[in-house]
Each structure stands twice: as structure tokens, then as C-alpha cells.
């Protein structure tokens, strides 16, 4: 009678161990995938070169000067 209890119990224990092993392996694979997704790959960023806007040079205009007339 004990033999009929031991064999199914042994089978259940073996199945539980096998499922635990496959579950731990799948967890390890998942953690590897998550770690590889979290690795940031550096991308080159363009640094804008500051450009100076050209300052317009003032044009010289001839000035008309009036000669003051003396008031008598």
C-alpha cells in the first residue's frame, strides 16, 4: 500500500522540480532581456555652433550744417 503512495508522490515531486527549473530558467532569460533593453546606447548629439549675426555697419551720410545767421 505504501508503494502506491510513494510512486505518485515521487512523480509529483519530480514534476514540481522540473517546473521550478524551467520557471527559473525563463526568469533568467527575462532578466537578461530586460537588462539588454535598459542599456543606453550613446547617440551622437549635434552641438549647435553659435553663429554671430552680422552687425550692419552704419553708413555715413553727409550732414548739412547751416551757418547761423546773426540776429541784429
Question: Helix, strand, or coil here: 42?
Answer: coil
**DSSP result, 13-37:** HHHHHHHHHHHHHHHHHHHHHHHHH
* Arithmetic mean of pLDDT, 7-14: 88
Residue 55 lies in a domain: no
At residue 51, the pLDDT reads 76
pLDDT in tens, 11-47: 899 999 888 877 776 766 766 655 555 556 667 777 7
CA separation for the pair 33, 29 (Å, rounded): 6
- What is the extent of the structural domain holding 8? 1-36
At residue 42, the pLDDT reads 67
Residue 15 lies in a domain: yes
CA angle 12, 13, 16 (to 5 degrees): 85
Residue 65 lies in a domain: no
Amino acid at each position: 500500500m505504501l508503494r502506491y503512495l510513494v510512486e505518485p508522490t515521487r512523480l509529483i515531486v519530480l514534476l514540481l522540480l522540473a517546473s521550478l527549473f524551467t520557471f527559473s530558467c525563463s526568469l533568467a532569460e527575462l532578466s537578461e532581456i530586460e537588462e539588454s533593453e535598459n542599456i543606453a546606447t550613446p547617440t551622437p548629439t549635434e552641438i549647435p555652433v553659435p553663429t554671430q549675426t552680422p552687425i550692419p555697419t552704419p553708413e555715413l551720410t553727409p550732414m548739412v550744417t547751416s551757418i547761423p545767421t546773426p540776429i541784429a
